[in-house]
Copies of this chain bind each other. A is one copy, B any other.
Amino acid sequence: MVRRDKSNYIIQSVAHALDVLEEFRGEMDELGVTELSKKLKLHKNNVFRILATLQSRNYIEQNRTNDNYRLGIKCLELGQTFIHQRGLLKQAQPILSELAESSAETSYISIIRGNEVVYLDAVETTSTVRVVSRVGLHMPVHATAAGKALIAFDSEEELRRRFHSELPRFTKNTITSSEEILNVLGVVREKEYAIDQEEFEDGLCCIASPVRDYTRKVIAALSVSGPAHRLSIDRIEQSVGPEVLRCAKMLSIRLGYRE
């Protein structure tokens, strides 16, 4: 079906009401009927009735001393509902499942706390060889894919502040040079996903991609981890890497991110 544009179905009176509501976004937090009427080219009686309707639901309230109108508490509640419903873990759940299935590895959602990655949730792989779950663990930023994805888009100043000396080693693959990690992060920024090839734990590889929200900032990392023998460079670059990136972008959109 070729869908008609939804603008064909707009209800004019509702749109006018939204016009009124949106006038309160400006620098003036209190507005009068006449002022709104002039700004919106609506008759005063119309503005009054729209305000009365919005006021009846507490989206708008009236300052009794000067008769001006301002936003009401319902606006705050609506915003809080948005935040609640669009919460990270809730929105991540279906995407973690999808990623675990499509990659056949364990998927994770993690955040940054100081210099550590915190794994918040996971969906296990169905493969026969499993790795130990990381949920609840704190891990070093520089030696994990999730950590790299979480910080890759920080400012250069912030990154230099974070990496100014030799980094702790965990395996023979761990990157311990600040200079080298900064280079790797440049690659992460280009590819939009990060890799950990047995840098934190022998035999374990991870791929992670940044997740953003309505603030447009990286707020989490979506990642997949599995044994090195299953996660070859080929498989990472041809299949799992782009899949993690795709899922991370999907999650970002669900969290209100707009490119």
A interface residues with partner B (beta carbon < 8 Å) = 6-7, 9-11, 13-15, 17-18, 21-22, 24-25, 27, 29, 48-50, 52-57, 59, 70-73, 75-83, 85-86, 90, 111, 113, 118, 214-215, 256, 258
Main secondary structure of the interface of A (DSSP, over half): helix
Whole-angstrom CA separation of A205 from B111 in the bound complex: 45
Contact (Cβ within 8 A) B85 A82: no
9 nearest interchain CB pairs? A79-B79, A29-B85, A75-B82, A9-B52, A6-B52, A14-B17, A76-B82, A75-B78, A14-B53
Residue pairs across A and B with Cβ atoms less than 8 A apart, 8 shown, are A10-B53, A14-B50, A15-B53, A17-B17, A21-B78, A71-B78, A78-B79, A79-B79
- Residues in B whose Cβ lies below 8 Å from that of A76: 79, 82-83, 86, 214, 256
Tell me if B56 and A85 are in contact (CB < 8 A): no
Task: Determine which of B27, B81, B258 lies in contact with A73 in the assembled complex, contact meaning CB atoms within 8 Å.
Answer: B258
A56 adjacent to B21 (CB under 8 Å): no
In the complex the two chains form, is A79's CB within 8 Å of B85's CB?
no
Count this chain's copies in the assembly.
2
Give the chain B neighbours of A7 by CB distance below 8 A: 52, 56
- Which of B27, B56, B80, B90 interacts with A79 by CB under 8 Å? B80
**A75 near B71 (CB under 8 angstroms)?**
no
- In the complex, the answer to whether A71 meets B53 with C-beta atoms within 8 Å is no
Closest residue on chain B to residue A17 by CB atoms: B14
CB of A66, distance to nearest CB on chain B (Å): 11
B53 touches A18 (CB 8 A): yes
- B-chain residues with CB within 8 Å of residue A214 when the two chains form the complex: 73, 76
Chain B residue nearest to A71 in the complex (CB): B82
